[in-house]
Amino acid sequence: MDDRASNGDPRSITVRDRRFCIRYPFAADALVLDLESGSRTEGVTSDLSMGGIFVCTSKPLPSNTRVRITLTRKNEKMEALGMVRIVKPRIGMGIEFIDVEQPHYGVLCRWAEQLGKAR
């Protein structure tokens, strides 16, 4: 077992250790709108979970930016409110879902279910 998780030192817990949702490889077009400034950035997702996504883009938004994200895959769309949690300059950003309303939550569940069965 990795000692980092068992020695009681909270600084030794990495972001990966804190994830609570299974992540699946997932490709969809992403449009991300900064709710404060109104600026937009586009990209493609690399993975998806019930808790969030990673968007590959050369122009990631700053950490803690509140966003509205629209994902499009084939003929389905999903929208959610989120928060940028991880920024990798010139690579992309990890976005945590904050609020996903119906019917978009149903689309998210269906995508995750399909990805889980494909494993």
The pLDDT score that the predictor gives to residue 18 is 52
The pLDDT score that the predictor gives to residue 9 is 47
pTM: 0.81
What is the bridge-based pairing of β-strands 66-73 and 29-34? antiparallel
* Least confident interval from 12-26, 32-46, 88-102: 12-26
Give the type of residue at 56. C
Return the bridge partners of 47, or none.
25, 54
15's CB contacts (< 8 A; 6+ apart) are 86
- pLDDT tops 80 at residue 10: no
Q: Please report, for residues 47, 49, 114, the alpha-carbon distance to residue 64 in angstroms, rounded to integers and kept in the order given.
A: 20, 19, 30
Could you tell me which CATH class the domain 22-118 is placed in?
Answer: mainly beta
Read off the pLDDT of residues 67-100 as tens digits, 9 standing for 90 and up: 999 999 999 999 999 999 999 999 999 999 999 9
